Structure 1
Amino acid sequence: MTQKISELLEAAAGRALPVVRGIDDGQLGDRTPCDEYDVRGLLNHLFQVVVNFQALAAREEADFSQEPDFVRGADAGADAGSGDWRRRFGEETARLVEAWDAPGAEEGTAGQMGLPARTLGLMVLGDLTVHAWDLARATGTEFDPDPGVVEAVGPGLAALAPKAREMKVFGEPFPVGAGATAFERVLAVTGRDPGWRRPRSR
């Protein structure tokens, strides 16, 4: 039996939340495996994805044209609510799960490209899982993805990879050996080096 997207998202969020909550404000400017993003930029991107895919589940318009600063206030100290973005990430991922659990969310097509709704659900599932790994590696946090999530997203991301590379969303596939794990293969398909480690402090 095919597992529901909402159940998979709940499992993925459960692995991502400790990573996000464990990020220190002092790490927001650190590099990540995504060359175009530091930690703050990647958090903002992930927030944007989580919020917009709530809209897509409900067949509403999604706006990826601008990346809002969800992590605002993080430099101002606790009195300015610097931890609010950590709490909000938990709230928004819960809304994402709820949106994809709604009746009919996985049926038909959605989004401007008219993709099958379940394909879109697998896309946000992949983003949530892969970017959680990105953030974990960038901040020195352990991350162990849910095996069921990895099994679900692997074939979908591999199928989407050629188009994603055309759109500059994925990099060229990273070469991995025959002994690579299923998740290492997922990372490699997206153009990531599964062995990436954050630069050592001088």
Structure 2
Amino acid sequence: MATKTSELLAVAAPRTVALVRAIGDDQLDLPTPCAEYTVRGLLNHVYDVTVNFQRLAAGQETDWSVKTDHLAEPGWRDRFAAETERLVTAWDDPASEEGVAPGMGLPRSTLGLMGVVDLVVHGWDLARVTGHPYEPAPETIAALHGFMDEMGPMGRQMGAFGPEVPVGVDATELDRLLGRTGRDPSWAG
């Protein structure tokens, strides 16, 4: 079972990359479960997260206010795949999980898991709206439930997660995770 951030990323990243590669240009303007984003906006957000979390793994500060239209240039799907590989490599350095992140005041190990949350939950968001398959690994979902146990309330206070959405008793573990992050697992654009 994957336990290190790099191991969780190594399992999650290829699934998200495959999904991103499957998204058609004709789907970029569709709304997503993240009300503030279209598919294009959410792809750019996930791309920014992937790049910024590489810096965080190296113990560097990052400016979250800088937004880039990564989709403006041809080949953005391949560049996203390369950046996710760099992300996994960055978090494979044992030093990436040590200490507190500059400018953020959170343990770097916690930040690494935030990167996994972004790939997985936004992967679901993108899959849901575009109709492409997406199934995170069970060990990834289990690790993210642990993360939500620890960080969910603070994440809600900071606006990273919406209010918890109740799910039925027969909900899957993924649906339970989505509900905990403020997603309605039955969302249909």
Q: Give the TM-score normalised by structure 1.
A: 0.89
Q: Is the 8 A contact 1:33 1:192 kept in 2?
A: yes
Listed one character per residue, the Cα deviations across residues 172-197 of structure 1 (whole Å, up to 9, x for unaligned) are 11011122121111100111001112
| Residue of structure 1 equivalent to 2:188 | 197
- Pairwise CA distance, 1:166: 2.0
Q: What is the alpha-carbon distance in structure 1 between the residues aligned to residue 94 and residue 164 of structure 2?
A: 36
Larger helix share, 1 or 2: 2
Moved more, 162-171 or 132-141: 162-171
Q: What is the alpha-carbon distance in structure 2 between the residues aligned to residue 186 and residue 112 of structure 1?
A: 28
Percent of aligned positions with the same letter in both sequences?
Answer: 51
- Pairwise CA distance, 1:7: 1.1
Instruction: Name the SS of the counterpart of 1:71 in structure 2.
Output: helix
- Pairwise CA distance, 1:92: 0.4
| Residue of structure 2 equivalent to 1:47 | 47
Q: Is the 8 A contact 2:12 2:116 kept in 1?
A: yes
Q: Is the 8 A contact 2:167 2:176 kept in 1?
A: yes
Gaps of 5+ in 2: none
| Residue of structure 1 equivalent to 2:60 | 60
Q: What is the alpha-carbon distance in structure 2 between the residues aligned to residue 188 and residue 111 of structure 1?
A: 30
Q: What is the alpha-carbon distance in structure 1 between the residues aligned to residue 45 and residue 31 of structure 2?
A: 14
| Residue of structure 1 equivalent to 2:10 | 10
Q: Is the 8 A contact 2:162 2:183 kept in 1?
A: yes
- Pairwise CA distance, 1:152: 0.8
Match status 1:38 vs 2:38: yes
| Residue of structure 2 equivalent to 1:132 | 123
Which of the residues 104, 115, 131 maps onto 2:95? 104
Match status 1:148 vs 2:139: yes
Q: Is the 8 A contact 1:70 1:85 kept in 2?
A: yes
Q: Is the 8 A contact 1:16 1:128 kept in 2?
A: yes
Q: Is the 8 A contact 2:29 2:39 kept in 1?
A: yes
- Pairwise CA distance, 1:114: 2.1
